[in-house]
Amino acid sequence: MSNTQIATQNQKTGIASYLGSDAVKNNIAGVIGEKNITRFISSVVSAVQVNPTLAQCTNPSILSAALQGEALQLAPSPQLGQFYMVPYDKKEKVNGKWQVVAKEAQFQIGWKGYVQLAIRSGEYEKIVVNEIKKGEIEYNPITEDIATHPIMEPEEREKAETVGYYAMFKLHSGYKKEIFSPKAAILAHAKKYSQAYRTDLNKGYQNSKWTTDFDAMAKKTLIRQLIGKWGPMSVEMQQAYEKDMSVIDEDGSARYVDNAVDVEMQVAEDIETHANTVDFEEAEVVENPKPADQPKSVKVEPPKPEPEQTAVEDDIPAFMR
């Protein structure tokens, strides 16, 4: 199915009409409450209107992604950067050949969303993530100390070359953790784990978030690693971590569509087996731990295998029925 065919298919029922139908509104009300329907629908429609490619995605996948963000009390506004609904092609074998059969909306948390969830948990006194400019950081390989020397003039700092990314949190208990990753390591991570980014690089496209907003994705990668490995994770944060970078299927399960095998195995292993203590297979980092008791790990069910199904435009997700 071509992009034109997908667009034509979705024009039969636009997202506003879909969300405004009585059947869908009643089911949304059952999930988020009657008083929140108008605000929810307005925010979803606004997010779709500013992204023509997202408008081509199946309505159920948009709704599922939006409801996941709503469950985490995060806003879908691209300007706020808390979470995004990112279009991806769903491919299936047709007559022995892989073809695009639909576009689906993937749920992606932004770095600001992770910061919001961390602060809301009540465990974090301070949490920051930022770009590091040339000459702003020193690392002592013997003591593992990280020292920063920030450029104080805003315009000068803006023009300076970004050489890496830094993330740090401090808990109310006094435990502090900071990590640094060179930009080259983040770039290698993006190439390894994002098929969309590799496609952009190979074909000169501008589709992946890694292409359109590299700094934001780099900061998300680092803060996700910092919290997931060393930080305490509330139930809300565990849910966010598990559903991040997935299409939410009709039964509410997460299906990872960008390098699906790599990402699914990574998330399942990281969460199920000592979520806060096991190393990620992510960007190389220079770490600077402060002695303290590590939070206990949390076990959750690993993601379910991807079901063989054909997307239907106007279905209501089963977990809402």
Instruction: Give dist(CA 74, CA 107) in Å, integer.
Output: 12
Question: Given this model, what pLDDT does residue 259 score?
Answer: 52
Confirm if 85 and 244 have CB atoms less than 8 A apart: no
181: nearest Cα among 165, 163, 161:
165
Instruction: Give dist(CA 267, CA 177) in Å, integer.
Output: 22
42 CB-near residues (< 8 Å, 6+ apart): none
E strands of the chain, at which residues? 83-94, 97-109, 124-133, 137-139, 146-148, 162-171, 176-182, 247-248, 254-255, 286-289
Q: Mean pLDDT for each 10-residue chunk of the chain (321 residues)?
A: 46 84 93 93 94 92 95 92 91 87 93 96 96 92 83 96 96 95 94 89 90 95 95 93 88 73 40 35 51 41 42 48 53
Question: Given this model, what pLDDT does residue 42 score?
Answer: 95
Question: Given this model, what pLDDT does residue 284 score?
Answer: 54
Q: CA distances (Å), 104 to each of 21, 82, 180, 242, 290, in order?
A: 20, 19, 34, 18, 43
109: nearest Cα among 270, 279, 236:
236
Taking the CA of residue 114 as centre, how many other CA atoms within 13 Å lie in the half-sphere pointing to its CB? 30
